[in-house]
Structure 1
Amino acid sequence: MFTLNIKTWKLLPSTPPCFSNRNLPSSSSTFTTVTMQNPPPSKPRRKSSYGTSRKSILRKSFKQEQVTFTAPFSDEPHVAIIGGGISGLLCAIYLDKRGVRSTVFDTGIHGLGGRLGTRVIDANDKHSLIFDHAAQFFTVNDSSFAQLVNAWVDKGLVKEWLGTVGELHNGGEFLPILPSTPRYIATNGMRFLADSLLSETRLVNVERPCWISKLEPFNGMWHLSENGKPCGKFDAIVIAHNGKCANRLLMTSGLPLVAKQMKRLELSSIWALLAAFEDPLPFPGNTGVPFEGAFVRGIDSVSWMGNNTKKLLAPQNDGPHCWTFLSTATYGKQNKVPQENIPTVTSSRVKEGMLEGVEAALGLSKGSLPKPSYTKLQLWGAALPTNTPGVPCIFDPFGRAGICGDWLLGSNIEAAALSGIALANHIADYIQSPGTDPGEFAVGLNQEFQPLEGHDIGQFPGLRSEEKMNEAQVYELAK
């Protein structure tokens, strides 16, 4: 059992709560209410064929009035967690540890995990294909997260990745990075970790695939629905995802301060190209180092390439070589389209551009990269945060709603995990502190955002890319 007390992070400022009087409804109300003003009649407007713009959604979110719950929590409080990535899952687990029930709603068809995504093709074949197609690995910097990861290692859920990782520069120059800190991967792919985390919980329910489309406060509870279908009523809600879907969900929820903070978040877009090759890719001739992962430098279309076969399967595996190529954020922005419906012409252009980038990074002559036997292209339209408020979680105690996710602290798995744990303990503290002024539990509602530094595929605390191997070390590695 692991506990993490949010108060040790000094989340609650010594100054007055984040709410200001002008933002809050009267605390004397005895029922839950959201008042929406009816606009004056106007001429009907022709509906755009392109749908509602993101900016329009965000403007509307400021017109809603704050919902306030004043009734006590139910005898057995139940929390809805919308989003089953690592942050949402750990929020559920730590609520379970505190004796609080939760239901995780996730849109995943194949499994939980969000950006802990793994795709397996022909799983029953001895030459099956496997790809981590979002998060590639993670590092540990926080002591409490280290305890959690050590427990995962003991259970066989994750292991240290000992393969060579470095920087691959345009033209084929590969520079291995010294192993300054352990790198971790899930034993059978990142999704395996997500699918295994809830196995020891008692008070967690999972609903998937389920796309929560509406939040409604009524009679002291939050009522959730999916396209008009009721999905239950809850004492509190957690938003554990982001992007345009989260903004739409918050648009008319009665949580203007939460919606405002979600609106401030800026996200990159990243293309993931999964490609299987019958033979090993040619490594840069000037080093001969058989790397398993590389941060790509000097290529417009590719920022990372990772060999899933070497990383996840036995070294003697003689099957196809499965690679994940991730684009740069700039390339993702230049070629961004609706990820639910990628035009064929865009898919072809992006795939060709990324394969040409791989070819150039490896220092191969144009047209000499082996043709892959399998490819799959995916756009992560809301990939990674580019700014952050720098707080572990956001919580509106009057609306009994919170946000967790990596973007609140950084852009990595550690940040996501710490955020989910923080919000779970914060909600449990609030539920288990009847009679306390709710305002004392307000967190992050007016926190300013700052730009977020890191690689295009995220941050890796403790991994210092400036610590390259010298020539002698490279020679030993290549032997």
Structure 2
Amino acid sequence: MYVPRIAVVGGGVSGLVLGKELASRGLHATVFDTGEHACGGRASSREAADNGRRFSFDHSTQYMTCTEGSRFESMAKEWAKEGLLAEWPADRVGTLKDGSFTPFDDGVVRYIGAGGLRPLADFLAEGSTEVVRPQWVGAMTPVGGEGPKRRWELASGPRGKPLGTFDFVAISHNGKCALRLAETAKLQDGSPAAAKTRASLQCAFGARPTEELKKQRKLILSSVWALMFAVDKPLNVKDNMEGAHIVGSEVVSWASNITAKRRHGKVRTDTDGGDTQCWVVHSTPQFARDNKCPQEAIPKSVADSVIAAMTREFERCAGLEPGSVKPVFTKVQLWGAANPLTAAGVPAVFDSETRTGACGDWCQGPPSVEAAAESALALADAIEATFSPTTARDPAAAGRLDAAKVRWAPCSGDAAALGAFPGTNVPSMGEIAAAPRREGGGGRGGRGGADNASVAAAGGAEAGVEPV
């Protein structure tokens, strides 16, 4: 009996959930991801070593919440039972403004990765039929005809290494690299072979005002700087604060004591037993836009400027004395495609005619771990209904999703700078100001004064397929 082969391009939350779901339904799911050490995309951890010491950071996703009664809530509870997630006590996470910490008091469960998010990503990857990494997918070519007869040959590039032939291709990342992949899908006459999926992956970058977002008919992605540092002397933060959305700052949007947070998962970390603390501070999307640079080769001058600006502002917001952060390790990372500012308004993109689709937190929005997982579930339902119509859990899913029309709309009003957290209220990222005018078409601008260079797509926001 022939088992349909599904290619999932991107190993972030949406891609890993999709691969696991398809495999559990009897389909052959191959997940391709560029992660050298692990899958996960934004749901990953960053390990670092310096002078014989090791440090570990949750440098992107900090925690997740669930809509009551959602499919994702059931999924998250299962992950918690597996010991992959732990609850973050409400009195340890909240909001921070001008040195005053206010813990959340809404009864919402906030899940964190036990020992970081890599164990969760590994668990999901094990559920797919196979995971191929590190592997770039740079070309998809239709073979075998139209509709039910169509299959796809994947390769590392237009003239690259063959990666196999598949009955369906699901792109579970976004940004320029996802668009470039879809643009390689051409018929013999040069016309698009996956026009619907290609159109849904049109994108642009940079934080911008809501009124401008309303005019966009594409995915708009914001950037975020992640500052990671370790201190040997615990910081004198108030009220046992371990994580906080920062209110009223133009520079930083989030701060978290990763070492303290992870201890709730009862997983020993490299810094347990001592006073060393690993911290992560995220910038605002506006600061990242105004201090952008080539993220794969960050100039030292830019890194130094960003570190200084974000450290000073974190100290101010946390009520610390200037200069009190004395790191023994420091690193910054620029996520070029950190969070969607617009959403497509569909659970997932699905095209039965071309046997292609896409999923991610940018589909239904606003961006969150739940949105990524729910999008993957919707696409899994449609793919299963296509290849196993008599036994599918939701036989009507393919037709329903096939008929869904993409309608882009801003989601910035529903999300914090880190994205959205269903079931609870978090501080909005606020209205984003227009980009500063730059003399002579370039130059220096914004706090921190980084060069106005182009920003490549990062992290597959969802997928880990584009470089991170």
TM range (shorter): 0.7 to 0.9
Counterpart of 1:446? 405
Q: Which amino acid aligns with 2:180?
A: R
Q: CA deviation at 1:403?
A: 0.5
Describe the shift of the 1:454–1:437 C-alpha distance in structure 2 as closer, same or farther (beyond 3 A). Answer: closer
1:418 aligns with 2:374: yes
Aligned ranges for residues 346-385 of structure 1 at < 5 Å?
A: 346-366=302-322, 368-385=323-340
Give 1:460's match in structure 2, choosing from 421, 443, 455.
Answer: 421
Matched-pair contact (CA < 8 Å) for 1:214–1:224: yes
Instruction: Give the counterpart letter for 1:222 in structure 2.
Output: W
User: Are 2:239 and 1:289 aligned?
Assistant: yes
CA distance in 2 between counterparts of 1:318 and 1:461 reads: 35
Distance in 1, matches of 2:273 and 2:396, equals 60
Q: Which has the larger radius of gyration?
A: 1
* Selected match of 2:151 from 221, 225, 243: 221
Match of 2:156, as an amino acid? E
Output the CA distance in 2 between the equivalents of 1:459 and 1:98: 30
Q: Distance in 1 between matches of 2:201 and 2:403?
A: 11
Match of 1:345 among 287, 298, 301: 301
What are the equivalent positions in structure 2 for 1:79-118 lying under 5 Å apart? 79-118=6-45
CA contact (8 A) 1:237 1:401 kept: yes
The one-letter amino acid paired with 2:88 is W
Query: Which residue is equivalent to 2:292?
Result: 336
State the match for 2:194 in structure 1.
255
Per the alignment, residue 234 of structure 1 pairs with: 166
The farther-off stretch of 255-264 and 307-316 is: 307-316
TM-superposed CA distance for 1:465, in Å, is: 4.4
Query: Kindly tell me: are residues 386 and 342 of structure 1, through their superposed partners in 2, closer, same or farther at Cα, counting changes over 3 Å?
Result: same
Matches within 5 A, 1:383-394: 383-394=338-349
Deviation of 1:441 (Å):
5.7
Contact 1:215–1:223 (CA under 8 A) maintained in structure 2: yes
Q: Percent sequence identity over matched residues?
A: 38
Return the letter of the residue paired with 1:245: C
- In structure 2, C-alpha distance between the alignment counterparts of 1:444 and 1:385, rounded to whole Å: 23
Instruction: Return the offset for 1:75.
Output: 2.6
Structure 1 residues 444 and 370: CA distance shift in structure 2, 3 A:
farther
Within 5 Å, which residues of 2 pair with 1:4-403? Answer: 75-121=2-48, 128-143=54-69, 144-162=71-89, 164-170=92-98, 172-199=99-126, 201=127, 204-219=129-144, 220-227=150-157, 228-253=160-185, 254-263=193-202, 264-283=218-237, 288-313=238-263, 317-366=273-322, 368-403=323-358
How far apart are the structure 1 equivalents of 2:7 and 2:291?
A: 35
Question: Equivalent residue of 1:224, what SS?
Answer: strand
Q: 1:277 to 1:439 in 2, by over 3 A?
A: closer
Counterpart of 1:269, as a letter, is: S
> Cα gap change, 1:347/1:214 in structure 2, threshold over 3 Å: closer, same or farther?
same
SS of 1:399 mapped into structure 2: coil
**C-alpha displacement of 1:142:** 4.5
1:433 and 2:389 correspond: yes
- How far off its partner does 1:444 sit? 6.4
Q: CA deviation at 1:338?
A: 2.3
In the alignment, which residue of structure 2 is the partner of 1:40?
Answer: none
For 2:200 and 2:136, how far apart are their aligned partners in 1?
Answer: 22
Q: What is the CA-CA distance between 1:128 and the residue it aligns to?
A: 4.1
The TM-score, its normalising length taken from structure 2, stands at 0.77
Distance 1:398-1:148 versus aligned 2 partners, 3 A rule? same
2:206 counterpart residue number: none
Amino acid at match of 1:85: G
1:379-423 per-position Cα deviation (integer Å, ceiling 9, x unaligned): 110111111122211101111001110111221101111111111
Q: What is the deviation of 1:446? A: 3.2
Change (3 A) 1:439 1:295: closer
Distance 1:438 1:190, change over 3 A: closer
Letter in 2 for 1:308: I
State TM-score, norm by structure 1: 0.75
Number of residue equivalences: 382
Q: Measure the CA separation in 1 of the matches of 2:10 and 2:331.
A: 24
CA–CA distance in structure 2, aligned partners of residues 311 and 348 of structure 1 = 27
SS of equivalent residue, structure 2 residue 79: helix
Q: Which amino acid aligns with 1:277?
A: V
Q: Secondary structure at the match of 2:340?
A: coil
Maintained 8 Å contact 2:230/2:279: yes
**Structure 1 gap ranges (5+):** 1-73, 467-479
In the alignment, the residues of structure 2 paired with residue 418 and residue 76 of structure 1 have an alpha-carbon distance, to the nearest angstrom, of 25
Structure 2 Cα separation of the partners of residues 221 and 438 of structure 1: 21
Structure 2, gaps ≥5 residues long: 145-149, 186-192, 203-217, 428-468
Kept in 2: contact 1:180–1:464 (CA 8 A): no
Shift of 1:233: 0.7
Distance 1:100 1:395 in 2: 17
Contact 1:177–1:465 (8 Å) recurs in 2: no
Q: Is the 8 A contact 1:397 1:441 kept in 2?
A: no
Helix, strand or coil at the partner of 2:221 = coil
Residues 141 and 154 of structure 2 are in contact (CA less than 8 Å); yes or no, is this contact kept in structure 1? Answer: yes
* Cα distance in 1 for residues equivalent to 2:96 and 2:234: 17
